[in-house]
Amino acid sequence: MYVCLCKNITSSQIRDAVETGRAGCVRSLARELGVATQCGKCARCARELVDSCARSA
């Protein structure tokens, strides 16, 4: 599922970034993948995804 349409980033890419330790918050996701760096509409969804990955880790 696409989370960030501006940057074409999927939930799998975000999950992978969190699980491999490349990102642990929306700010690091922005740095790694560009999530939430344009319109910003995906920030909330991205944050929820990061939180759910952290909880299941």
Residue from the set 22, 27, 31, 41 that interacts with ligand FES by CB under 6 A: 41
Residue among 52, 51, 18 at smallest CA distance from 9: 18
Amino acid 56 reads S
Tell me which residue has tokens 């999530």.
35
Query: d(Cα 40, Cα 20) in Å, to the nearest integer?
Result: 24
Q: Which is nearer to ligand FES, 39 or 54 (CB)?
A: 39
User: Does 44 interact with ligand FES (rule: CB under 6 A)?
Assistant: no
Query: Least Å distance between CB 46 and ligand FES?
Result: 8
The residue ranges that bind ligand FES (CB under 6 A) are 4-7, 35-42
